[in-house]
Amino acid sequence: MIKYITAGESHGKGLTIIVEGFPTGFPLSEDYIQEDLARRQRGYGRGGRQLIEKDRAELLSGVRHGLTMGSPISMFIPNKDYVNWGKVMATEPVEDPGNTVTRLRAGHADMPGTIKYGISDVRNILERSSARETAARVAAGAVAKRFLQEFGIEVHSHVINIGGVRSKYEHPVDWEKANASEVHCIDPLAEAEMIKIIDKAKEDGDTIGGAVEVVATNVPIGLGSHVHYERKLDARLALALMSIQACKSVAIGEGWEAADLPGSQYHDTLEPIAEDGKAPAGPYPTASGPWHRATNRTGGIEGGMSTGMPLIARFTIKPIATLAKPLPSVDLVTGKTVQAHFERSDVCNVPPAGVIGEAAVAFVLADAFLEKFGGDNIDETSRNFNSYQKTIGPRSWVATDG
Ligand code: EPS
């Protein structure tokens, strides 16, 4: 239903984003998109690049007088660092463009990229495979987030693990607390330990990975479908999240723990809501429908469809492949043993990964939402959504006479 495409190299002129397929008539502004771009740049463990950039997406098309027009939304985020890379990254031929990179980094796209594309300068691969591209994804995701907001759907995230230090938390999560934390973690004890681990990695010239959790609330029942692999909401989320640079695994809800528990302890049983219409107390009091679940291990998805419970996706980020104390490697041209390439990098990229994960989840949800409710104009989408929401309940409750 909707799609986006990004273009741009890490040290080129900037990042271009085209977002296509959203209805006309909902508000969108550069300032709104800016909020998530700024959140992506924050986080303990970031390197020198974030001191140079002040990411802001200029809206070039698809929005008029503050409202979407239904036409492709195009944006441009300039790379401020380009002034330092004009010769190396020039689009026109230049004399003496500077040193080529031939020392491969294990864990990055360097080796398979150079072999696949038949090139001898790693820069042609590392520039595009850099996580700088995630700024463009966050801009695209912000459009989806703004659209979902029209229907009360919110997408947030927090860090649940850095270098093996796990956050102790319960749902519902206090998102303001997560945003206020330097490592985007709501558990102050874990936060202090995570900061220590990042400091230690920096001292050692090392890098450190972790895991984040993305939560979408007020997702209606029935986004996605059970009928085909590519229509399953969990499969679509897995693709969107796994494609984030450095992501190594994705789980929906307690997907990693599912291997450990018997069915009697794993599944989120349905209970009717009391006669007074109130949901029982518990972590998920806002049941969507005349039922309630005390647990949400399946992360709000059953059979590839949303259940109306908070949608929860977790993913891990491996430690960044560019180490200040480089790993032993091989030179692409000479085949000789060398130390891997190091230019500049982050020590830990886990806090910004949450913001990028939010963008990925929001885009999938907006796509599935438009697939179900359609509409060329936001009012049309709202009418379709509201009329469906009235049908939710046991079949005997559903009015058949309209
Ligand atoms: C990033 C920009 C990059 C890296 C990082 C993420 O900028 P530079 O290469 O100029 O330091 O800091 O990229 C990686 C971790 C990577 O492995 O490519 C950003 O804006 O997020």
Residue among 28, 3, 23 nearest 379 (CA)? 23
State pTM to two decimals.
0.95
Element (H, E) at 155: strand 154-162
Mutate to test the pocket of ligand 1, among 15, 327, 345, 355 (most ligand atoms within 8 A of CB): 345
Measured in Å, residue 117 CA sits from the centre of ligand 1 at: 22
pLDDT at 399: 45
pLDDT tens digits, one per residue of 101-154:
999 999 999 999 999 999 999 999 999 999 999 999 999 999 999 999 999 999
**Nearest residue (CA) to ligand 1, atom 17:** 130
**Nearest residue (CA) to ligand 1, atom 19:** 132
Ranges of residues in the chain with a pLDDT under 50 are 287, 398-402
Q: Is residue 134 within 6 Å of ligand 1 at its C-beta?
A: yes
Measured in Å, residue 151 CA sits from the centre of ligand 1 at: 34
**Nearest residue (CA) to ligand 1, atom 2:** 132
**Nearest residue (CA) to ligand 1, atom 12:** 345
pLDDT at 356: 98
Measured in Å, residue 49 CA sits from the centre of ligand 1 at: 7
Q: Is residue 322 within 6 Å of ligand 1 at its C-beta?
A: yes
pLDDT at 4: 98
Residue 320 CB burial class (10 angstroms; 0-12, 13-18, ≥19): buried
pLDDT at 280: 66
Q: Is residue 10 within 6 Å of ligand 1 at its C-beta?
A: yes
Residue among 59, 49, 53, 54 nearest 17 (CA)? 59
User: What is the number of the ligand 1 atom nearest to the C-alpha of 46?
Assistant: 12
Other C-beta atoms within 10 Å of 7: how many?
Answer: 14
pLDDT at 335: 94
pLDDT at 401: 44
Q: Is residue 132 within 6 Å of ligand 1 at its C-beta?
A: yes
pLDDT at 321: 94
Q: What domains appear along the chain, each with residue ranges and CATH number?
A: 97-397 (3.60.150.10)
Q: Is residue 79 within 6 Å of ligand 1 at its C-beta?
A: no
**Rounded to the nearest 5 degrees, what angle is found at the Cα of 331, between the Cα atoms of 325 and 332?**
130
**Nearest residue (CA) to ligand 1, atom 14:** 131
Other C-beta atoms within 10 Å of 152: how many?
Answer: 10
User: What is the number of the ligand 1 atom nearest to the C-alpha of 50?
Assistant: 20
Q: Is residue 49 within 6 Å of ligand 1 at its C-beta?
A: yes
